[in-house]
Structure 1
Amino acid sequence: MERQSGEKPVSVIEIRDLYKSFGDYHVLRGVDLDLYKGENLVVLGKSGTGKSVLIKIVVGLLKPDRGRVSVLNSLIDQITYKELLELRLKVGFSFQNSALYDSMTVRENLEFPLVRNRRKLTKQEVSLAVEEMLDAVGLLQTINQMPSELSGGQRKRIGIARTLILKPEIMLYDEPTAGLDPITCLEINSLINEVQERFHTSSIIITHDLTCAKAVGDRVAMLLDGKFERQGTFEEVFDTTDPRVKPFYDYNFIQ
Protein backbone atom coordinates (compact mmCIF):
# COMPACT_ATOMS: atom_id res chain seq x y z
CA MET A 1 0.00 0.00 0.00
CA GLU A 2 1.16 3.51 -0.82
CA ARG A 3 1.49 5.26 2.55
CA GLN A 4 4.15 6.61 4.79
CA SER A 5 4.76 5.03 8.18
CA GLY A 6 2.02 6.07 10.62
CA GLU A 7 -0.31 7.47 7.91
CA LYS A 8 -3.83 6.16 7.51
CA PRO A 9 -4.23 4.27 4.20
CA VAL A 10 -6.38 5.88 1.50
CA SER A 11 -9.47 3.92 0.41
CA VAL A 12 -10.11 3.80 -3.35
CA ILE A 13 -13.14 1.53 -2.82
CA GLU A 14 -15.23 1.83 0.33
CA ILE A 15 -18.19 -0.47 1.00
CA ARG A 16 -20.40 -0.11 4.05
CA ASP A 17 -23.39 -2.19 5.25
CA LEU A 18 -24.05 -3.62 1.78
CA TYR A 19 -27.04 -5.91 1.26
CA LYS A 20 -28.13 -7.76 -1.87
CA SER A 21 -30.80 -10.45 -2.25
CA PHE A 22 -32.40 -12.23 -5.16
CA GLY A 23 -35.90 -13.09 -3.99
CA ASP A 24 -35.51 -15.15 -0.83
CA TYR A 25 -31.82 -15.80 -1.54
CA HIS A 26 -29.82 -13.39 0.65
CA VAL A 27 -26.35 -13.13 -0.89
CA LEU A 28 -24.71 -10.13 0.82
CA ARG A 29 -25.79 -9.45 4.40
CA GLY A 30 -24.12 -6.29 5.63
CA VAL A 31 -20.76 -6.30 3.84
CA ASP A 32 -18.03 -3.87 4.93
CA LEU A 33 -14.85 -3.70 2.86
CA ASP A 34 -12.09 -1.26 1.85
CA LEU A 35 -9.62 -1.48 -1.00
CA TYR A 36 -6.64 0.71 -0.17
CA LYS A 37 -4.56 2.63 -2.67
CA GLY A 38 -1.73 0.51 -4.07
CA GLU A 39 -2.71 -2.81 -2.51
CA ASN A 40 -3.65 -6.22 -3.87
CA LEU A 41 -6.72 -7.41 -1.96
CA VAL A 42 -7.73 -11.05 -2.39
CA VAL A 43 -11.41 -11.93 -1.95
CA LEU A 44 -12.01 -15.58 -1.07
CA GLY A 45 -15.20 -17.56 -0.70
CA LYS A 46 -16.98 -20.68 -1.87
CA SER A 47 -19.03 -20.66 -5.09
CA GLY A 48 -22.30 -18.85 -4.66
CA THR A 49 -21.17 -16.72 -1.72
CA GLY A 50 -21.55 -13.44 -3.64
CA LYS A 51 -18.02 -12.59 -4.78
CA SER A 52 -19.07 -11.85 -8.37
CA VAL A 53 -22.22 -10.07 -7.19
CA LEU A 54 -20.03 -7.78 -5.10
CA ILE A 55 -17.84 -6.88 -8.08
CA LYS A 56 -20.87 -6.23 -10.30
CA ILE A 57 -22.21 -3.79 -7.70
CA VAL A 58 -18.81 -2.05 -7.55
CA VAL A 59 -18.90 -1.33 -11.31
CA GLY A 60 -22.60 -0.45 -11.35
CA LEU A 61 -23.90 -3.53 -13.17
CA LEU A 62 -26.14 -4.43 -10.21
CA LYS A 63 -27.89 -2.15 -7.74
CA PRO A 64 -27.58 -2.89 -4.02
CA ASP A 65 -30.71 -3.30 -1.90
CA ARG A 66 -29.08 -1.24 0.81
CA GLY A 67 -25.69 0.19 1.71
CA ARG A 68 -23.00 2.57 0.54
CA VAL A 69 -20.50 1.91 -2.26
CA SER A 70 -17.87 4.55 -3.03
CA VAL A 71 -15.38 4.08 -5.89
CA LEU A 72 -12.67 6.72 -6.28
CA ASN A 73 -14.79 9.05 -4.13
CA SER A 74 -17.92 8.59 -6.28
CA LEU A 75 -21.06 7.05 -4.78
CA ILE A 76 -22.08 4.45 -7.37
CA ASP A 77 -25.84 4.78 -6.85
CA GLN A 78 -25.81 8.59 -6.93
CA ILE A 79 -23.87 9.42 -10.09
CA THR A 80 -25.31 9.88 -13.58
CA TYR A 81 -24.97 7.20 -16.25
CA LYS A 82 -22.43 9.37 -18.09
CA GLU A 83 -20.38 9.73 -14.88
CA LEU A 84 -20.61 5.96 -14.36
CA LEU A 85 -19.22 5.30 -17.85
CA GLU A 86 -16.34 7.71 -17.18
CA LEU A 87 -15.65 6.01 -13.84
CA ARG A 88 -15.58 2.57 -15.47
CA LEU A 89 -12.67 3.73 -17.64
CA LYS A 90 -10.66 3.99 -14.41
CA VAL A 91 -11.60 0.46 -13.35
CA GLY A 92 -10.16 -2.42 -15.38
CA PHE A 93 -11.90 -5.81 -15.35
CA SER A 94 -9.90 -8.93 -16.22
CA PHE A 95 -12.50 -11.57 -17.07
CA GLN A 96 -12.13 -15.23 -16.17
CA ASN A 97 -12.38 -16.28 -19.84
CA SER A 98 -10.14 -13.38 -21.04
CA ALA A 99 -13.06 -12.09 -23.23
CA LEU A 100 -10.95 -11.61 -26.36
CA TYR A 101 -12.59 -11.05 -29.74
CA ASP A 102 -11.90 -14.23 -31.71
CA SER A 103 -12.20 -12.48 -35.09
CA MET A 104 -9.52 -9.90 -34.24
CA THR A 105 -5.76 -10.26 -34.05
CA VAL A 106 -3.99 -9.58 -30.77
CA ARG A 107 -3.08 -6.11 -32.06
CA GLU A 108 -6.71 -5.36 -32.99
CA ASN A 109 -7.96 -6.62 -29.61
CA LEU A 110 -5.73 -4.11 -27.82
CA GLU A 111 -6.43 -1.29 -30.28
CA PHE A 112 -10.20 -1.61 -29.84
CA PRO A 113 -10.58 -0.02 -26.36
CA LEU A 114 -8.10 2.75 -27.26
CA VAL A 115 -9.79 3.69 -30.53
CA ARG A 116 -13.18 3.60 -28.82
CA ASN A 117 -12.26 5.63 -25.73
CA ARG A 118 -9.18 7.70 -26.64
CA ARG A 119 -10.24 9.13 -29.99
CA LYS A 120 -7.67 11.94 -30.04
CA LEU A 121 -4.76 9.50 -30.22
CA THR A 122 -2.93 9.24 -33.53
CA LYS A 123 -2.50 5.90 -35.27
CA GLN A 124 1.17 5.90 -34.25
CA GLU A 125 0.32 6.61 -30.60
CA VAL A 126 -2.17 3.72 -30.60
CA SER A 127 0.42 1.38 -32.13
CA LEU A 128 3.07 2.38 -29.56
CA ALA A 129 0.60 1.87 -26.68
CA VAL A 130 -0.27 -1.61 -27.94
CA GLU A 131 3.38 -2.59 -28.27
CA GLU A 132 4.16 -1.21 -24.80
CA MET A 133 1.39 -3.25 -23.17
CA LEU A 134 2.27 -6.46 -25.00
CA ASP A 135 5.89 -5.99 -23.97
CA ALA A 136 4.76 -5.44 -20.37
CA VAL A 137 3.08 -8.88 -20.32
CA GLY A 138 5.92 -10.52 -22.24
CA LEU A 139 3.96 -11.28 -25.42
CA LEU A 140 5.03 -8.71 -28.00
CA GLN A 141 5.81 -11.57 -30.40
CA THR A 142 2.11 -12.53 -30.55
CA ILE A 143 0.98 -9.14 -31.89
CA ASN A 144 -0.23 -10.47 -35.27
CA GLN A 145 -1.62 -13.78 -34.04
CA MET A 146 -5.27 -14.73 -33.57
CA PRO A 147 -6.58 -15.67 -30.09
CA SER A 148 -7.19 -19.24 -31.31
CA GLU A 149 -3.45 -19.61 -31.86
CA LEU A 150 -2.61 -18.78 -28.23
CA SER A 151 -2.43 -20.96 -25.13
CA GLY A 152 -4.81 -20.38 -22.21
CA GLY A 153 -2.10 -18.60 -20.26
CA GLN A 154 -1.23 -16.38 -23.22
CA ARG A 155 -4.88 -15.43 -23.71
CA LYS A 156 -5.09 -14.56 -20.02
CA ARG A 157 -2.04 -12.30 -20.36
CA ILE A 158 -3.44 -10.63 -23.48
CA GLY A 159 -6.72 -10.04 -21.66
CA ILE A 160 -4.84 -8.34 -18.82
CA ALA A 161 -2.85 -6.25 -21.33
CA ARG A 162 -6.07 -5.12 -23.05
CA THR A 163 -7.51 -4.10 -19.69
CA LEU A 164 -4.33 -2.22 -18.74
CA ILE A 165 -4.09 -0.28 -21.99
CA LEU A 166 -6.49 2.39 -20.69
CA LYS A 167 -4.23 2.81 -17.62
CA PRO A 168 -6.92 2.08 -14.99
CA GLU A 169 -6.38 3.05 -11.36
CA ILE A 170 -8.18 -0.06 -10.12
CA MET A 171 -7.90 -3.62 -11.45
CA LEU A 172 -10.51 -6.32 -10.81
CA TYR A 173 -9.35 -9.88 -11.52
CA ASP A 174 -12.01 -12.60 -11.73
CA GLU A 175 -10.46 -16.04 -11.07
CA PRO A 176 -7.19 -15.17 -12.86
CA THR A 177 -5.69 -18.69 -12.56
CA ALA A 178 -8.85 -20.73 -13.28
CA GLY A 179 -8.28 -23.57 -15.74
CA LEU A 180 -4.53 -23.05 -16.01
CA ASP A 181 -1.73 -25.53 -15.33
CA PRO A 182 0.39 -25.00 -12.17
CA ILE A 183 3.38 -23.44 -13.98
CA THR A 184 1.18 -20.97 -15.87
CA CYS A 185 -0.63 -20.15 -12.61
CA LEU A 186 2.71 -19.11 -11.10
CA GLU A 187 3.40 -16.93 -14.15
CA ILE A 188 0.00 -15.19 -13.82
CA ASN A 189 0.60 -14.64 -10.10
CA SER A 190 3.93 -12.99 -10.92
CA LEU A 191 2.26 -10.86 -13.59
CA ILE A 192 -0.37 -9.60 -11.13
CA ASN A 193 2.41 -8.51 -8.78
CA GLU A 194 4.33 -6.91 -11.67
CA VAL A 195 1.22 -4.97 -12.73
CA GLN A 196 0.81 -3.66 -9.18
CA GLU A 197 4.44 -2.52 -9.04
CA ARG A 198 4.79 -1.14 -12.57
CA PHE A 199 1.40 0.54 -13.01
CA HIS A 200 0.68 1.37 -9.34
CA THR A 201 -2.74 -0.24 -9.49
CA SER A 202 -5.06 -1.04 -6.60
CA SER A 203 -6.56 -4.47 -7.21
CA ILE A 204 -9.24 -6.88 -6.05
CA ILE A 205 -8.46 -10.48 -6.97
CA ILE A 206 -11.35 -12.96 -6.74
CA THR A 207 -10.03 -16.50 -6.51
CA HIS A 208 -10.54 -20.01 -5.13
CA ASP A 209 -6.80 -20.67 -5.57
CA LEU A 210 -5.05 -20.29 -2.23
CA THR A 211 -1.62 -20.50 -3.85
CA CYS A 212 -2.62 -17.44 -5.87
CA ALA A 213 -4.05 -15.75 -2.76
CA LYS A 214 -0.84 -16.31 -0.81
CA ALA A 215 1.38 -15.15 -3.69
CA VAL A 216 -0.41 -11.91 -4.63
CA GLY A 217 -2.45 -10.80 -1.60
CA ASP A 218 -1.22 -7.93 0.54
CA ARG A 219 -4.44 -8.61 2.41
CA VAL A 220 -7.04 -11.37 2.26
CA ALA A 221 -10.78 -11.08 2.95
CA MET A 222 -12.94 -14.19 3.26
CA LEU A 223 -16.66 -13.96 2.53
CA LEU A 224 -18.57 -16.12 5.00
CA ASP A 225 -22.36 -16.21 5.34
CA GLY A 226 -22.76 -12.96 3.43
CA LYS A 227 -20.14 -10.95 5.34
CA PHE A 228 -16.37 -10.47 5.44
CA GLU A 229 -15.81 -12.05 8.83
CA ARG A 230 -12.10 -12.73 8.42
CA GLN A 231 -9.64 -10.16 7.05
CA GLY A 232 -5.88 -9.79 7.35
CA THR A 233 -2.73 -11.40 6.02
CA PHE A 234 -3.03 -14.89 4.55
CA GLU A 235 -1.63 -16.38 7.75
CA GLU A 236 -4.02 -14.38 9.95
CA VAL A 237 -7.10 -15.43 7.98
CA PHE A 238 -6.24 -19.13 8.13
CA ASP A 239 -4.95 -19.21 11.71
CA THR A 240 -8.27 -20.62 12.92
CA THR A 241 -10.16 -23.81 13.65
CA ASP A 242 -13.38 -22.27 12.26
CA PRO A 243 -15.12 -25.17 10.44
CA ARG A 244 -16.14 -22.77 7.66
CA VAL A 245 -12.50 -21.86 6.97
CA LYS A 246 -10.29 -24.86 7.74
CA PRO A 247 -11.73 -27.18 5.04
CA PHE A 248 -11.07 -24.45 2.45
CA TYR A 249 -7.36 -24.51 3.40
CA ASP A 250 -7.20 -28.30 3.68
CA TYR A 251 -8.73 -28.79 0.23
CA ASN A 252 -6.09 -26.56 -1.39
CA PHE A 253 -3.00 -27.72 0.48
CA ILE A 254 -3.55 -31.10 2.16
CA GLN A 255 -5.72 -33.25 -0.10
Structure 2
Amino acid sequence: MDEKNINSNTTEPVIAIRDLKKSFDALKVLDGVNLDVLKGENIAVLGRSGSGKSVLIKIICGLLKPDSGIVKVLGQAIDTISKPALQELRLKIGFSFQSSALYDSMSVKENLEFPLVRNRRDLSKKEVDTAVEEVLHDVGLSQTINQMPSELSGGQRKRIGIARTLILKPEIMLYDEPTSGLDPMTCIDINNLIVKVQHQYKTSSIIITHDLTCAKNTANKVAILVEGKFITTGSFDEVFNSKDEGIRAFYDYNFMLPVSKKMQGNSEYNHQ
Protein backbone atom coordinates (compact mmCIF):
# COMPACT_ATOMS: atom_id res chain seq x y z
CA MET A 1 0.00 0.00 0.00
CA ASP A 2 1.43 3.34 -1.05
CA GLU A 3 2.15 6.01 1.58
CA LYS A 4 0.73 8.70 -0.74
CA ASN A 5 -2.78 7.42 0.09
CA ILE A 6 -2.62 8.64 3.71
CA ASN A 7 -5.64 10.81 4.58
CA SER A 8 -3.58 13.47 6.32
CA ASN A 9 -2.45 17.04 5.93
CA THR A 10 -0.55 17.08 9.21
CA THR A 11 2.49 15.44 10.73
CA GLU A 12 1.07 15.55 14.27
CA PRO A 13 0.84 11.91 15.45
CA VAL A 14 -2.45 10.62 16.81
CA ILE A 15 -0.44 7.97 18.68
CA ALA A 16 3.01 8.89 20.00
CA ILE A 17 5.08 6.33 21.90
CA ARG A 18 8.49 7.10 23.42
CA ASP A 19 10.80 4.65 25.22
CA LEU A 20 7.88 2.46 26.33
CA LYS A 21 8.81 -0.35 28.71
CA LYS A 22 6.64 -3.10 30.13
CA SER A 23 7.62 -6.21 32.07
CA PHE A 24 5.76 -9.00 33.79
CA ASP A 25 7.90 -10.03 36.76
CA ALA A 26 11.33 -10.84 35.27
CA LEU A 27 10.05 -11.06 31.70
CA LYS A 28 10.76 -7.94 29.61
CA VAL A 29 8.04 -7.66 26.99
CA LEU A 30 8.51 -4.11 25.72
CA ASP A 31 11.98 -2.64 26.17
CA GLY A 32 12.16 0.86 24.76
CA VAL A 33 9.46 1.00 22.08
CA ASN A 34 9.21 4.15 19.94
CA LEU A 35 6.44 4.63 17.40
CA ASP A 36 4.39 7.40 15.77
CA VAL A 37 1.08 6.87 14.00
CA LEU A 38 0.04 9.86 11.90
CA LYS A 39 -3.51 10.96 11.25
CA GLY A 40 -5.02 8.80 8.51
CA GLU A 41 -2.14 6.30 8.59
CA ASN A 42 -2.28 2.51 8.83
CA ILE A 43 0.73 0.84 10.46
CA ALA A 44 1.13 -2.94 10.53
CA VAL A 45 3.02 -4.27 13.53
CA LEU A 46 4.74 -7.56 12.77
CA GLY A 47 6.31 -9.84 15.32
CA ARG A 48 6.62 -13.40 16.51
CA SER A 49 4.06 -14.83 18.89
CA GLY A 50 4.81 -13.50 22.37
CA SER A 51 6.83 -10.53 21.09
CA GLY A 52 4.58 -7.98 22.81
CA LYS A 53 2.29 -6.91 19.96
CA SER A 54 -0.94 -7.43 21.90
CA VAL A 55 0.56 -5.89 25.04
CA LEU A 56 1.34 -2.78 22.99
CA ILE A 57 -2.23 -2.21 21.84
CA LYS A 58 -3.60 -2.97 25.31
CA ILE A 59 -1.40 -0.18 26.66
CA ILE A 60 -2.55 2.16 23.90
CA CYS A 61 -6.21 1.73 24.88
CA GLY A 62 -5.46 1.87 28.61
CA LEU A 63 -6.11 -1.77 29.49
CA LEU A 64 -2.53 -2.10 30.77
CA LYS A 65 -0.28 0.50 32.38
CA PRO A 66 3.29 1.02 31.14
CA ASP A 67 6.18 0.61 33.57
CA SER A 68 7.86 3.67 32.07
CA GLY A 69 7.93 5.79 28.96
CA ILE A 70 5.36 8.03 27.31
CA VAL A 71 2.23 6.94 25.45
CA LYS A 72 0.05 9.73 24.07
CA VAL A 73 -3.20 9.00 22.27
CA LEU A 74 -4.97 11.92 20.61
CA GLY A 75 -2.74 14.20 22.68
CA GLN A 76 -3.53 12.61 26.05
CA ALA A 77 -0.99 10.72 28.17
CA ILE A 78 -2.47 7.28 28.86
CA ASP A 79 -0.64 6.69 32.16
CA THR A 80 -1.76 9.94 33.82
CA ILE A 81 -5.25 10.38 32.39
CA SER A 82 -8.21 10.34 34.80
CA LYS A 83 -10.65 7.42 34.69
CA PRO A 84 -13.53 9.51 33.31
CA ALA A 85 -11.26 10.99 30.64
CA LEU A 86 -9.96 7.51 29.77
CA GLN A 87 -13.50 6.23 29.32
CA GLU A 88 -14.23 9.16 27.02
CA LEU A 89 -11.02 8.54 25.07
CA ARG A 90 -11.83 4.85 24.62
CA LEU A 91 -14.98 5.81 22.72
CA LYS A 92 -12.64 7.25 20.08
CA ILE A 93 -10.63 4.01 19.85
CA GLY A 94 -12.08 1.00 18.05
CA PHE A 95 -10.74 -2.43 18.99
CA SER A 96 -11.30 -5.26 16.52
CA PHE A 97 -10.74 -8.48 18.44
CA GLN A 98 -9.17 -11.55 16.86
CA SER A 99 -12.22 -13.60 17.93
CA SER A 100 -14.69 -10.85 16.87
CA ALA A 101 -16.11 -11.03 20.44
CA LEU A 102 -19.77 -11.01 19.40
CA TYR A 103 -22.44 -11.81 21.97
CA ASP A 104 -23.76 -15.22 20.92
CA SER A 105 -27.14 -14.66 22.58
CA MET A 106 -27.77 -11.45 20.61
CA SER A 107 -28.72 -11.04 16.96
CA VAL A 108 -26.47 -9.06 14.63
CA LYS A 109 -28.76 -6.05 15.07
CA GLU A 110 -28.63 -6.32 18.86
CA ASN A 111 -24.83 -6.70 18.82
CA LEU A 112 -24.53 -3.49 16.81
CA GLU A 113 -27.06 -1.62 18.91
CA PHE A 114 -25.29 -2.47 22.16
CA PRO A 115 -22.44 0.12 21.99
CA LEU A 116 -24.89 2.88 21.09
CA VAL A 117 -27.43 1.98 23.77
CA ARG A 118 -24.63 1.87 26.34
CA ASN A 119 -22.70 4.98 25.31
CA ARG A 120 -25.08 7.19 23.28
CA ARG A 121 -28.26 7.35 25.31
CA ASP A 122 -29.12 10.65 23.65
CA LEU A 123 -29.97 8.85 20.41
CA SER A 124 -33.55 7.98 19.49
CA LYS A 125 -34.53 4.46 18.41
CA LYS A 126 -34.81 5.68 14.83
CA GLU A 127 -31.28 7.11 14.97
CA VAL A 128 -29.94 3.84 16.39
CA ASP A 129 -31.72 1.84 13.69
CA THR A 130 -30.30 4.12 10.99
CA ALA A 131 -26.77 3.80 12.39
CA VAL A 132 -27.05 0.00 12.42
CA GLU A 133 -28.30 -0.10 8.83
CA GLU A 134 -25.56 2.25 7.64
CA VAL A 135 -22.68 0.38 9.23
CA LEU A 136 -24.00 -2.98 8.01
CA HIS A 137 -24.15 -1.54 4.50
CA ASP A 138 -20.57 -0.29 4.84
CA VAL A 139 -19.26 -3.78 5.67
CA GLY A 140 -21.43 -5.38 2.97
CA LEU A 141 -23.67 -7.43 5.27
CA SER A 142 -27.06 -5.72 5.29
CA GLN A 143 -28.75 -9.09 4.76
CA THR A 144 -27.48 -10.47 8.09
CA ILE A 145 -29.27 -7.94 10.33
CA ASN A 146 -31.60 -10.50 11.94
CA GLN A 147 -29.19 -13.44 11.99
CA MET A 148 -27.49 -14.88 15.05
CA PRO A 149 -23.67 -15.07 15.28
CA SER A 150 -23.86 -18.88 15.06
CA GLU A 151 -25.38 -18.51 11.58
CA LEU A 152 -22.46 -16.45 10.27
CA SER A 153 -19.27 -17.59 8.58
CA GLY A 154 -15.90 -16.72 10.10
CA GLY A 155 -15.42 -13.86 7.67
CA GLN A 156 -18.90 -12.51 8.32
CA ARG A 157 -18.32 -12.60 12.08
CA LYS A 158 -15.09 -10.69 11.57
CA ARG A 159 -16.85 -8.02 9.50
CA ILE A 160 -19.71 -7.71 11.99
CA GLY A 161 -17.11 -7.29 14.75
CA ILE A 162 -15.54 -4.45 12.78
CA ALA A 163 -18.99 -2.95 12.16
CA ARG A 164 -19.77 -2.96 15.88
CA THR A 165 -16.56 -1.04 16.47
CA LEU A 166 -17.26 1.43 13.66
CA ILE A 167 -20.75 2.28 14.88
CA LEU A 168 -19.25 4.71 17.42
CA LYS A 169 -17.22 6.33 14.61
CA PRO A 170 -13.78 5.99 16.22
CA GLU A 171 -10.78 8.06 15.19
CA ILE A 172 -8.37 5.19 15.82
CA MET A 173 -8.75 1.50 14.93
CA LEU A 174 -6.73 -1.29 16.56
CA TYR A 175 -6.92 -4.58 14.65
CA ASP A 176 -5.72 -7.74 16.40
CA GLU A 177 -4.83 -10.41 13.80
CA PRO A 178 -7.71 -9.47 11.46
CA THR A 179 -7.10 -12.30 8.98
CA SER A 180 -6.25 -15.06 11.45
CA GLY A 181 -8.04 -18.35 10.74
CA LEU A 182 -9.66 -17.16 7.52
CA ASP A 183 -9.43 -18.66 4.04
CA PRO A 184 -7.43 -16.74 1.40
CA MET A 185 -10.44 -15.23 -0.40
CA THR A 186 -11.99 -14.05 2.86
CA CYS A 187 -8.63 -12.55 3.85
CA ILE A 188 -8.76 -10.45 0.68
CA ASP A 189 -12.24 -9.21 1.68
CA ILE A 190 -11.03 -8.26 5.17
CA ASN A 191 -7.94 -6.51 3.80
CA ASN A 192 -10.11 -4.51 1.40
CA LEU A 193 -12.47 -3.60 4.25
CA ILE A 194 -9.60 -2.31 6.40
CA VAL A 195 -8.52 0.00 3.58
CA LYS A 196 -12.14 1.07 2.98
CA VAL A 197 -12.52 1.91 6.68
CA GLN A 198 -9.31 3.96 6.59
CA HIS A 199 -10.57 6.14 3.77
CA GLN A 200 -14.32 6.26 4.42
CA TYR A 201 -14.11 6.73 8.20
CA LYS A 202 -10.82 8.70 8.10
CA THR A 203 -9.30 6.40 10.73
CA SER A 204 -5.71 5.91 11.85
CA SER A 205 -4.90 2.27 12.58
CA ILE A 206 -2.48 -0.20 14.07
CA ILE A 207 -2.82 -3.65 12.54
CA ILE A 208 -1.32 -6.47 14.58
CA THR A 209 -0.60 -9.31 12.18
CA HIS A 210 1.75 -12.10 11.15
CA ASP A 211 0.18 -12.12 7.67
CA LEU A 212 2.56 -10.41 5.25
CA THR A 213 -0.10 -10.15 2.55
CA CYS A 214 -2.35 -8.31 5.00
CA ALA A 215 0.51 -5.97 5.95
CA LYS A 216 1.42 -5.26 2.33
CA ASN A 217 -2.15 -4.54 1.22
CA THR A 218 -3.50 -2.59 4.21
CA ALA A 219 -0.61 -0.64 5.73
CA ASN A 220 1.17 2.55 4.74
CA LYS A 221 4.08 1.42 6.92
CA VAL A 222 5.19 -1.73 8.68
CA ALA A 223 7.12 -1.98 11.94
CA ILE A 224 8.89 -5.15 13.07
CA LEU A 225 8.95 -5.85 16.80
CA VAL A 226 11.86 -7.99 18.01
CA GLU A 227 12.96 -8.51 21.62
CA GLY A 228 10.80 -5.66 22.87
CA LYS A 229 11.91 -3.05 20.32
CA PHE A 230 11.06 -2.02 16.77
CA ILE A 231 14.11 -2.96 14.73
CA THR A 232 12.84 -1.22 11.60
CA THR A 233 9.92 0.87 10.38
CA GLY A 234 9.11 1.88 6.83
CA SER A 235 7.07 1.01 3.77
CA PHE A 236 6.62 -2.70 3.08
CA ASP A 237 9.07 -2.63 0.19
CA GLU A 238 11.65 -0.63 2.14
CA VAL A 239 11.57 -3.09 5.03
CA PHE A 240 11.56 -6.34 3.09
CA ASN A 241 14.00 -5.26 0.39
CA SER A 242 16.51 -4.64 3.16
CA LYS A 243 19.67 -6.75 3.14
CA ASP A 244 19.65 -6.90 6.92
CA GLU A 245 20.04 -10.58 7.81
CA GLY A 246 17.95 -10.20 10.95
CA ILE A 247 14.95 -8.97 8.98
CA ARG A 248 15.30 -11.65 6.32
CA ALA A 249 15.68 -14.34 8.96
CA PHE A 250 12.65 -13.00 10.82
CA TYR A 251 10.27 -13.19 7.84
CA ASP A 252 11.11 -15.04 4.67
CA TYR A 253 9.89 -12.55 2.13
CA ASN A 254 10.70 -14.88 -0.75
CA PHE A 255 7.47 -16.83 -0.34
CA MET A 256 5.58 -13.76 -1.53
CA LEU A 257 7.40 -13.71 -4.88
CA PRO A 258 5.61 -15.20 -7.90
CA VAL A 259 6.21 -18.94 -8.25
CA SER A 260 7.92 -18.44 -11.60
CA LYS A 261 10.54 -16.14 -10.02
CA LYS A 262 11.16 -18.63 -7.24
CA MET A 263 11.74 -21.33 -9.82
CA GLN A 264 14.09 -19.09 -11.81
CA GLY A 265 16.21 -18.65 -8.73
CA ASN A 266 16.30 -22.38 -7.97
CA SER A 267 19.42 -23.88 -9.57
CA GLU A 268 18.13 -27.44 -9.12
CA TYR A 269 14.95 -26.54 -11.01
CA ASN A 270 16.92 -24.77 -13.76
CA HIS A 271 19.00 -27.87 -14.42
CA GLN A 272 16.06 -30.27 -14.71
**In which range does the TM-score fall when normalised by the shorter chain?**
over 0.9
1:2 Cα deviation (Å)? Answer: 3.4
Instruction: Name the residue aligned to 1:182.
Output: 184
Note the C-alpha offset of 1:43. 0.5
Question: Is the Cα contact below 8 Å between 1:224 and 1:244 reproduced in 2?
Answer: no
1:86 — aligned with what? 88
Unaligned runs of 5+ in 2: 1-5, 257-261, 263-272
CA distance in 1, matches of 2:38, 2:58: 19
Aligned residues of 2:22 and 2:30 also touching (Cα < 8 A): yes
Match of 1:2 in 2: 7
Deviates more, 1:57-66 or 1:241-250: 241-250
Q: 88-97 or 237-246: which moved more? A: 237-246
Identity of aligned residues (%): 67
Which amino acid counterpart does residue 100 of structure 1 have in structure 2? L
| Letter matched to residue 34 of structure 1 | D
- The aligned length equals 252
Question: 1:252 Cα deviation (Å)?
Answer: 7.6
* Residue-by-residue CA offset, 1:122-170 (whole Å, 9 max, x unaligned): 0000000000000000000000000000000000000000000000000
CA distance in 2, matches of 1:205, 1:108: 27
Change in 2 beyond 3 A, CA 1:252/1:96? farther
Distance, in Å, in 1 between the alignment partners of 2:105 and 2:54 is: 28
Match of 2:129 among 123, 127, 133: 127
Quick one: distance in 2 between partners of 1:129 and 1:226?
40
Matches of 1:198 and 1:252 in 2, distance apart? Answer: 33
Alignment partner, residue 22 of structure 1: 24
Give 1 or 2 for the bigger CA radius of gyration.
2
The residue correspondences of 1:51-90 to structure 2 (distance < 5 A) are 51-90=53-92
The equivalent position to 1:44 in structure 2, one of 39, 42, 46, is 46
- 1:71 and 1:253 mapped to 2: Cα distance? 36
- CA deviations on 1:182-224 (whole Å, 9 max, x unpaired) are 0000000000000011000001000000000000010111111
2:193 pairs, out of 158, 182, 191, with 191
In structure 2, give the amino acid aligned to 1:141.
Q
Q: 1:105 aligns with which of 104, 107, 112?
A: 107
| SS at 1:168 equivalent | coil
Number of the residue aligned with 1:154: 156
Scaled by the length of structure 1, the TM-score of the pair is 0.96
Does the 8 Å CA contact 1:209/1:252 hold for their aligned counterparts?
no
CA shift for structure 1 position 251: 7.0
Shift of 1:179: 0.1
**Alignment gaps of 5+ in structure 1:** none
AA at the equivalent of 2:142: L
Name which of 185, 193, 215 aligns with 1:213.
215
TM-score in terms of structure 2 length: 0.90
**What SS does the aligned partner of 1:240 have?**
coil
Instruction: Please give the alpha-carbon distance, in whole angstroms, between the structure 1 residues aligned to 2:13 and 2:47.
Output: 22
Q: What secondary structure is seen at the aligned counterpart in 2 of 1:244?
A: helix
